[in-house]
Structure 1
Amino acid sequence: MSRLAGDESMRRLRAAIEGLDVGVLVNNAGVSKPYVVFLHEVDVEAWMKMVRVNLWALTEVTAAVLPGMVERGRGAIVNMGSASSEAIPSFPLCNIYAATKRYVAKFSRSLYIEYRSRGVDVQCQAPFFVATRMVPRAIRDNWLSPFLPTPDAYARAAARWIGHGSLCSPTISHQLLWCLASVLPDAVHDWLRLREHLRLRAHRKRAARASATWHAVD
């Protein structure tokens, strides 16, 4: 999404919500790719696309909707963060993604403090993996699979948690993972995340080579 395209999208959004009583805003759009790569391996524009979607767009949409909520004295804003920035001390090979989600958590907490007395609730939800297409198959099929809620299950839990604090991880399975993460020293987290992400990186490279070979033969 270019800056020009983003400006046009925001113009259309402001026009669409003019006069509407927006009660709940859910900022759920996000980009997770490039995934499990070193920073120097990817053109900077790919990283900036992630920043524009995960950080700038969320900020602009919130700023467009918030004045109406303040005027009416009611409303709720839910911003989708990530446990990768809240429950885990580092997220190597996915560092830009985790950094943008850290912004979401701090942004949400600050708005929560600013606006709760004015009837507007702001919450950051920080899930672990949910069984969507954003999650690599290598993760969906490993030991974490029992802890991956379906999108529908997550949505139901997420709706129940709106209004209950500035930061949450709505599903029971993710709360269990959060508790497990809290007992591990940071150094252990760092070692485990780097080891796992290097494994996923190698898996993706093998899959890419196999796909290239298949297409060449075909």
Structure 2
Amino acid sequence: MHAGDEALRRLRDAVKKLDVGILVNNAGIAKPGAVFLHEADVEAWVRMIRVNLWAVTEVTAAVLPGMLRRGRGAIINMGSASSEGISLPLHTMYSATKRYVAQFSRSLYVEYKSTGIDIQCQVPFFVATTMASGFAATWRPSALVPTADTYARAAVGWIGKGGPLCVPNLRHRLLGWYFATVPGGVQDWFCLRENLRHRKMLRRARSPRASACRPLGHGMPSIE
């Protein structure tokens, strides 16, 4: 038996003993950050796929039988605005895995909506977490970047509302409406320019010289 099969078997055994009412698939990684596809090892992309794509699928499959028996439940999958009509150059694999999550959620919503199980994909823009530091130089709380607590409060209020795909945070919805008015070519140019700038900053920060000169306790935040 493969290691992944064994892990899934153990997960299913554990879930059988639990009454899972709400599942939130929130685990995700963005590492290696802003890079061209050829610049990262294949292993890095495989790790991202395992967490962002396979794990969502496996855990969802594990809890669904119990929810079906009880005739109720909710599954919330964390997607990304980067998968919804906006290109994300230098973060291609991340955006692609989140597109899977969105389509996975949309189809499951249709499959199970008559059984009392609500399945939803939430698609936020930036939220002020260390993971967001892998996407933009400015990732701390701001007018358009809510704190994790602020986003979580909005997210909880949208469970069971908004259909299979939703944007719980009002500021994120306003940002989405703004992007919808910008021509695609302009979006591509802007996102590529900003991500190339951030790639340069990350490469400089990760260089051996920068690591040797950086004072202890002042390193770059973790991207994961």
| TM-score for both structures, normalised by structure 1 | 0.91
Q: What is the identity, as a one-letter code, of the residue corresponding to 2:190?
A: L
Deviation at 1:211, TM superposition (A): 2.2
Q: 2: distance between equivalents of 1:131 and 1:188?
A: 26
2:131 alignment partner, SS class: coil
Instruction: Please provide the CA RMSD for this pair.
Output: 1.6
Which amino acid in structure 1 is aligned with residue 41 of structure 2?
A: D
- The structure 1 segments of at least 4 consecutive aligned residues displaced by more than 3 Å after TM superposition are 6-9
Residue number in structure 2 paired with 1:189: 187
2:26 aligned to which of 28, 32, 36: 28
The aligned counterpart of 2:169 is: 171
Residues in 2 aligned to 1:13 and 1:27: alpha-carbon distance in whole angstroms: 14
The partner residue of 1:56 within 54, 76, 82 is: 54
Contact 2:105 2:120 (8 Å CA) reproduced: yes
- What is the CA distance between 1:77 and its match in structure 2? 0.4
Contact 1:87 1:181 in 2 (8 A): no
Secondary structure, in 3 states, of the residue corresponding to 1:156? Answer: helix
* 2:40 aligned partner: 42
**Alignment match, 1:104:** 101
User: Quick check: 1:126–1:168 contact (8 Å CA) kept in 2?
Assistant: yes
Equivalent residue of 1:122, what SS? strand
Secondary structure at 2:34's aligned position in 1? coil
* 1:151-186, Cα deviation, whole Å (9 max, x unpaired): 111111100001111111111111111111111111
Aligned counterpart in structure 2 of residue 94 of structure 1, from 91, 103, 111: 91
Unaligned runs of 5+ in 1: none
Kindly state the Cα deviation for residue 15 of structure 1 after the two structures are TM-superposed. 2.0
Match of 2:211 in 1: 212
Structure 1 residues 87 and 170 mapped into 2: Cα distance closer, same or farther (>3 Å)?
A: farther
Using the TM superposition, give the Cα deviation of residue 110 of structure 1 relative to its aligned residue in structure 2, in angstroms: 0.2
Measure the CA separation in 2 of the matches of 1:200 and 1:12: 40
Matched residue of 2:90: which SS? coil
Cα deviation per residue 1:123-159 (whole Å; 9 max; x = unaligned)? 0000001100101172225xx8321111111111100
**Partners of 1:11 and 1:198 in 2: CA distance:** 42
Distance 1:175 1:84 in 2: 13
How far off its partner does 1:87 sit?
Answer: 4.5
Q: What TM-score results when the alignment is normalised by the length of structure 2?
A: 0.88
Q: CA deviation at 1:213?
A: 4.0
User: 8 Å contact 2:129–2:139 — kept in the other structure?
Assistant: no
Q: Which has the higher helix share?
A: 1
Aligned residue pairs, count: 209
* Paired-residue identity, %: 61
Q: Distance in 1 between matches of 2:9 and 2:188?
A: 42
- Indicate how the Cα distance of structure 1 residues 87 and 178 shifts in structure 2: closer, same or farther if over 3 A, else same: farther
Taking the TM superposition and a 5 Å limit, the aligned residue runs for 1:10-159 are 10-88=8-86, 90-136=87-133, 138-140=137-139, 145-159=142-156
Q: How far, CA to CA, are the matches of 1:125 and 1:115 in structure 2?
A: 17
Q: CA deviation at 1:71?
A: 1.6
